[in-house]
Structure 1
Amino acid sequence: KLDSKILCIPAKILFQKGKWDGLKRDDLDHYYQLLLSHSEFRIREELEHDPQFKQIIPQVVFKHQDSYFLHRQVAANETRLNSLCPLPIGGHVEEFDQKIVGQDIIQAALDREVDEEVFLETEVTKRTFLGIIYLEDENPVNHVHVGIAYIFEVKNPNIRIKEEGLEDVGWVSANYLNENIDSLTYWSKVILKEHINNSFTVAPNQ
């Protein structure tokens, strides 16, 4: 799909108040409106190594009680992320996402990605906007993407991977994630360190 057009935002606009490292959790209304009003569609191949533009990636972590849905990339399209385990489900915003009536394009893309990647056989009881992820580290893939991160809390754990190239790891605890942090994708580590570990409470012994 490198010849397809995907949604991106010029870095100079996104970072006009300065860059951040990790999960941006303040002034989110301002940044979300920036994404909606100043984003543009460009050919994906031209963006893959151009840090002047940030590809917009809406994504969601599924939570059931104190457990989180983890999956594994068996044959990732993004070879720079192969063999790592993501917490979030998500992907690029495509041109056809703007045709969904009653939703902004980021929410439409998020719901489409969920529908494409998992069998969601449960009710989403709460949708929480966590923040915007950006990393500028040793991995060049992080320099050209920005993550729009959500948590969806679900009524029961009936979720299975649908998309080819992915497979279930299953529902895991925060302790499991911390013990296996080296196997997580970069953005998954950010969500774990900056959100899950700050909100996790130890359940009483059964």
Structure 2
Amino acid sequence: MEAVAEEQILVVPAEVFDELGRFQGISTDIERYLDPLLRCERLSYKPRGPMEEDPSYKQLIAYVLLQHTAADGTVTVFSYTRGGGGGEKRLHAKRSVGVGGHISSDDATHDTAHADEGLYRRGLERELSEEVHIGSAYTERLVGLINDDETPVGRVHLGVVHVFELEEPVVSSAELALAEGQFLPVEQLLAEIDSYESWSQIAIRALYGR
């Protein structure tokens, strides 16, 4: 049987992030980081397996929160439990409010990672379509970047955080790795924050903390 080729994911040397200014937690200084990272000539595609253990590179991740605001002002966010079918085994059984994932060589139209303006967007849209079905119109905004060097998973990833504001709270999971999907009020997210993965904790506190 022919072996399945390992996924090739978009990465940037961690020292490029250091040159821009490494931070812990969330940064809303999008202009400082995102465009320079996506235009960096040192972007490359590397096999996912080794990259999960190599903090000398940062894997760029699209991280989308799906939010709904009711007529009475109540804000709810789509939340789920990471099941056994997901790609990042270190996060299994953790709660999360982020959907999305890696940018892959399959998203590229050129041989070099930095040459394609639409690369990141295609990766974001592909990951969303693989993970969830969104049954509502929405608006979106880019809110910041997440870095967490305090966990093994965080040390090798750098997240780009988006919020999709849905007109109706209509979202369903598209894969088994996203279990128990439901919209929860932000007060409940904050009360149960210890059950969430570190990036979700960072995002919840930054966006909804009182």
Q: Shorter-chain-normalised TM-score: which range?
A: 0.7 to 0.9
Q: Answer whether contact 1:2 1:44 (CA < 8 A) is retained.
A: no
In structure 2, the gaps of 5 or more residues are 70-74, 111-115
- Name the residue aligned to 1:51: 55
Q: Answer whether contact 2:173 2:181 (CA < 8 A) is retained.
A: no
In structure 1, the gaps of 5 or more residues are 199-206
- Name the residue aligned to 1:181: 193
Structural mapping, 1:14-53, within 5 Å: 14-26=17-29, 28-38=30-40, 39-53=43-57
- Name the residue aligned to 1:135: 148
Give the one of 5, 10, 19 matched to 1:7: 10
What TM-score do you get using the length of structure 2 for normalisation? 0.86
What TM-score do you get using the length of structure 1 for normalisation? 0.88
Cα RMSD of the aligned pairs, angstroms, is 1.9
Partner Cα separation in structure 2 for residue 43 and residue 119 of structure 1: 28
Q: 1:43 to 1:143 in 2, by over 3 A?
A: same
* TM superposition shift of 1:13: 0.9
* TM superposition shift of 1:24: 1.1
Q: Count residues in correspondence.
A: 194
Task: In structure 2, give the amino acid aligned to 1:22.
Answer: G
Q: Where do 4+ consecutive residues of structure 1 move more than 6 Å? A: none
Q: Answer whether contact 1:118 1:161 (CA < 8 A) is retained.
A: yes
Q: 1:41 to 1:106 in 2, by over 3 A?
A: same
Task: In structure 1, give the amino acid aligned to 2:54.
Answer: D
Over the matched positions of the two proteins, sequence identity in percent amounts to 26
Q: 1:23 to 1:87 in 2, by over 3 A?
A: same
Partner Cα separation in structure 2 for residue 112 and residue 152 of structure 1: 16
Q: Answer whether contact 2:63 2:161 (CA < 8 A) is retained.
A: yes
Q: Deviations over 1:25-60 (max 9, x none)?
A: 12x123111221122111112211111100011120
- Name the residue aligned to 2:72: none
Partner Cα separation in structure 2 for residue 92 and residue 30 of structure 1: 21
- Name the residue aligned to 2:90: 80
